[in-house]
Amino acid sequence: MIIDYKHNHSGHCESGATSNLIRHYGLEINEPMAFGIGGGLFFCYLPFIKAQEAPMVAFRTIAGKIFLHSTERIGADVVMIKKFKDPSKAMDELDRNLENGIPTGVQVGTFHLKYFPPKYRLHFNFHNVVVFGRENGVYHIGEPVRENTQLILREDLQKARFARGMFGPNGKMYYIRSVPKQPDMHRAIFLGIQETVKNMIHNPVPFIGVKGMRKLAKDMKKWPAKLPEEKARFYLTQFVRAVEEFGTGGAAFRYIYGAFLKESSELLNNDLIREASNKMGETATLWRELSYRSSRFIKNREESSDSYSILSEILLECAAGEEIIFKGLAKLNTKS
């Protein structure tokens, strides 16, 4: 049974899956909208948690939040099953959904997705795909980051849904029961922006939001003195990969968020948001520049005129830019 499901290529897996699922029920919400309403933009720097032997840097909220928050804010009726103990039960539940014609989002570990070539398959457990069909033990997958839909064997999908390691998906699945025809977009956008503002500038924890960026910049300046050269370079490499590659990458999230602000400013006809969207675009370009210069610096130290302190200054500039944006957005209220 294959559901008539329209696949759209997206930049980011979870917001792509969310927007595709919502669109299946007739409400036109594109990827940046789903990302913004779900409050997906985030920053956190956790030097005491080592992910792949380097300090952890995250540019988005934890997996599952974008789907839950964005659907809640537009008033959709959704089901999310967070955990299965028995893998075969999890697959049966998925089969039942497909029989009922419900496309279902699942969280998977990328290592077991055999349709990717080996060099794409890292142990990364936050990937999201949409399952929309099944034929004799072969599942049809709407893979948000690929242009076309993919096929996967039942046992591989089961392994991917029960990948182990840090933050394993444990068979998490989610689907939509119904979506309202005329949701209150004004309220949804407002709540989405409010959440991001709170995360980025009003969080008291010093590792989160703009404070986290400043802390990372401060630490980055110390890396060459504090660490052996190899290790400092490795830390920087992992940071650049976080900005550009892991889970779409931090710079790309800034562009997506800017696109969301642009679209909502047109929808609500609000100048405050329009101004913020332009600034967001500029900050995103600055992030991309940071990663670009860092990768050149890593590649060839002699030719590059950069140093850790210059890179950390660019990072501070990014932080300052985002602080201005979110302080501006914090002035929004429900009446505007």
Partner 1 sequence: MEDLNRKQTDADHREDNQEVIKGNPDNLFYNYNRELFYSFDKSKGFTKKVDYQYTANQTIIKQQWDLAEVRLNEVKRLVIAGKRSPIAYYMEKKLMDVPILAAYMNHSTWKIRWHLTRTGFKWMKQETLEHYAEIFEISPGELKKPSFLTNFSEN
What residues line the site for partner 1 (CB under 8 A)?
Answer: 9-11, 32, 111, 116-117, 119-123, 145-147, 164-166, 168, 237, 240-241, 244-245, 252, 255-256, 258-259, 262, 277-278, 280-282, 284-285, 288-289, 291-292, 295-296, 298-299, 310, 313-314, 317
Nearer to partner 1, 128 or 203 (CB): 128
Q: DSSP labels for 251-304?
A: HHHHHHHHHHHHHHHHHHT-HHHHHHHHHHHHHHHHHHHHHHHHHHHHH-TTT-
Pair 314, 286: CB distance under 8 Å: yes
Compare residues 44 and 286 and give the one whose CB is closer to partner 1. 286
Gap between the Cα atoms of 121 and 126, Å rounded: 13
Question: Within 10 Å of residue 316's Cβ, how many Cβ atoms?
Answer: 17
Shortest Cβ 16–partner 1 spacing (Å): 8
CB of 259 to partner 1, least distance (A): 4
Of 32 and 133, nearer to partner 1 (C-beta) is 32
What is the β-pairing status of strands 138-142 and 150-153? Answer: antiparallel
What residues contact residue 324 under an 8 Å CB cut-off, 6+ apart? 279
Q: Which residues pair with 152 in a beta bridge?
A: 139
Tell the smallest beta-carbon distance from residue 182 to partner 1 (Å): 26
At closest approach, how far in Å is the CB of 130 from partner 1? Answer: 16
Considering the complex, what minimum distance in angstroms separates the CB of residue 331 from partner 1? 23
| CB closer to partner 1, 80 vs 320 | 320
Whichever of 215 and 296 has its CB closer to partner 1, that residue is 296
Whichever of 68 and 145 has its CB closer to partner 1, that residue is: 145
Shortest CB 73 distance to partner 1, Å: 22
| Distance in angstroms (rounded) separating the CA atoms of residues 282 and 259 | 12
Which residues 6+ apart lie within 8 Å of 210 measured at CB?
43, 200, 201, 319, 322, 323, 326
